[in-house]
Amino acid sequence: MGNYLKSFGLGNDYLEIADSKFIEEVDSYLKRLFPICRSITGNGVRQSLEILQEIADFDIKEIPSGTKCYDWTIPDEWNILDAYIKDASGKRIVDFRNCNVHVVSYSIPVEKKLSFSKLKEHLYTLSEMPKAIGYKTSYYNLDWGFCLTHEQLESMDRSEEYYVKIDSTLEPGSLTYGEGYIEGTSGEEYLISSYCCHPSMGNDNLSGIVLWAFLLRALKHLKPRHSYRFVLAPETIGAIAYISKNQEALKRVKGGFILTTVAGPGEFGYSPTFLKDHFIDKVVKKTFDELDINYKKYPFQIGSDERHYSAPGLRIPIGTITKDKYYEYDYYHTSLDNMDYINAANLVETYKVYLSIFDRMEENVIFNSLCRYCEPNLGKRGLYPKVGGPSRAKNPALIETNMICGLMFYCDGKTSLFEISEKTGFPMDQLLETALKLCQLNLLEKVF
């Protein structure tokens, strides 16, 4: 992979530094954040956002329980300290301390003795994956439950009584989310969103929140032309709450990405925007093609928070780049989607692809020709070879001349560098370099 970040003026150096030290740094955050029990509200989200603030500066905001957000209401806040099932001998046979996926998220507090048959109404297993603990939630239905491996269930004595305790609280509090904003000068704004509500699972979606913070740090450092709005909120209710608070501002957003499932061992994938051929889709394709990376092409799905950001009122085109896409991998929404399944090196690969995409978005400048009624006389400016001939297209020495002619032909104040790259086949970074040279010669002017 090459040609990263030229328009930011940093060449590959930034990413080479990243390669040697960055994987270790990313790994340390994955390992610190993995054990925290996150849900759609509560201290797990707060604690996670505070750790991510060490990576990049952003605001942590709270919306009180009971707040109306369109058709939804912010629920009471859920917190949990401990949970277990004990057998008759007092041994914890299911233990929240070993794995927080064991507890159905938003379980109400419970402490009682009950028969196996009564307890079983609250137990969930995956018979097709007997060693995995499935992930379950009960956000809007007051209930409690445990998820356990099918092997654990099979080993339970059906004649025994069991003692269960869920030491949780569900009471008025707030929903917590993170927001970072980078203000550019181009007038274009993009949304980068991820969700922070899953307990200890790696690809979905610890990987997304860690990538979110590192991309925020990188873009802040690179001082981009465009504005970038970074949102990290619980899935569904968090995105809805965020939109309800920022409805008008979000109407300015031209497109965006949802960061999810980005550190699995599988190949890259791309889930397009609902428009399928929006600028976001084209720039992703161009980036993968120019980096020579094969990737799976998924059809549009009304998947994660695209459901809200792309809803009729906003219609923001949102794309998603994945390494083992949600729904698609065997360990999805199970305890086996853990730190053995994902790794920091995979996450860094996705980080590079995203930065490379942002780089092309940044390079998408519009220029206007100052020589409007003919091609300029390149010879008198020393830009044209002294001996002319018909073989211009095949002579590598004339590539720059071809690029100049292409730019002088297409730069009409409307056609963007991305489009010129598509029409001429020249990479955007080379076109940009040449166009800036032509600006110095007063042959082009930068419009936007």
- Of 204 and 359, the one with the shorter C-beta distance to Zn ion is 204
Annotate each residue in 367-406 with x if it binds Zn ion (CB under 5 A) or - if it does not, as one string: ----------------------------------------
Interface of this chain with Zn ion, residues 121 to 140, rule: CB under 5 A = none
Question: Judged by CB under 5 A, does residue 305 bind Zn ion?
Answer: no
- The letter for the amino acid at 269 is G
The one segment of 121-129, 175-183, 200-208, 335-343 that binds Zn ion by CB under 5 A: 200-208
State the minimum distance, in angstroms, from the CB of residue 305 to Zn ion. Answer: 11
- Of 204 and 306, the one with the shorter C-beta distance to Zn ion is 204
State the minimum distance, in angstroms, from the CB of residue 326 to Zn ion. Answer: 6
Size of the site for Zn ion (CB under 5 A): 1
Q: Give the tokens for residue 423.
A: 């029409």
State the minimum distance, in angstroms, from the CB of residue 209 to Zn ion. Answer: 12
Angle at 43 between CA 40 and CA 48, to 5 degrees: 85
State the minimum distance, in angstroms, from the CB of residue 325 to Zn ion. Answer: 11
Cα 83 to Cα 34, 40, 169: the distances in Å are 18, 18, 12
State the minimum distance, in angstroms, from the CB of residue 333 to Zn ion. Answer: 6
State the minimum distance, in angstroms, from the CB of residue 198 to Zn ion. Answer: 6
In SS3 terms, the chain reads as CCCCCCCCCCCCHHHHHHHHHHHHHHHHHHHHHCCCCCCCCCHHHHHHHHHHCCCCCCEEEEEECCCEECCEECCCEEEEEEEEEECCCCCEEEECCCCHHHECECCCCEEEEEEHHHHHCCEECCCCCCCCCECCECCCCCCCCEECCHHHHHCCCCCCEEEEEEEEEEECCEEEEEEEEECCCCCCEEEEEEECCCCCCHHHHHHHHHHHHHHHHHHHHHCCCCEEEEEEECCCHHHHHHHHHCHHHHCCEEEEEECCCCCCCCCEEEECCCCCCCHHHHHHHHHHHHCCCCEEECCCCCCCCHHHHCCCCCCCCEEEEEECCCCCCCCCCECCCCCCCCCHHHHHHHHHHHHHHHHHHHHCCEEEECCCCCCCCCHHHCCCCCCCCCCHHHCHHHHHHHHHHHHHHHCEEEEEHHHHHHHHCCCHHHHHHHHHHHHHCCCEEECC
- Of 233 and 443, the one with the shorter C-beta distance to Zn ion is 233
- Of 198 and 286, the one with the shorter C-beta distance to Zn ion is 198
The one segment of 101-109, 145-153, 203-211, 343-351 that binds Zn ion by CB under 5 A: 203-211
State the minimum distance, in angstroms, from the CB of residue 196 to Zn ion. Answer: 11
* Candidate list 76, 77, 188, 204; residue touching Zn ion; CB under 5 A: 204
What is the distance between the alpha carbons of residues 428 and 131, in angstroms, rounded to a whole number? Answer: 49
Question: Judged by CB under 5 A, does residue 306 bind Zn ion?
Answer: no
The one segment of 119-127, 183-191, 198-206, 383-391 that binds Zn ion by CB under 5 A: 198-206
Annotate each residue in 72-111 with x if it binds Zn ion (CB under 5 A) or - if it does not, as one string: ----------------------------------------
- Of 204 and 429, the one with the shorter C-beta distance to Zn ion is 204
Q: Residue with the closest Cβ to Zn ion?
A: 204
State the minimum distance, in angstroms, from the CB of residue 68 to Zn ion. Answer: 25
- Of 287 and 346, the one with the shorter C-beta distance to Zn ion is 346
- Of 193 and 287, the one with the shorter C-beta distance to Zn ion is 193
Interface of this chain with Zn ion, residues 264 to 293, rule: CB under 5 A = none
The one segment of 204-212, 347-355, 375-383, 402-410 that binds Zn ion by CB under 5 A: 204-212
State the minimum distance, in angstroms, from the CB of residue 204 to Zn ion. Answer: 4
Please report, as ranges, the residues that interact with Zn ion according to CB under 5 A. 204
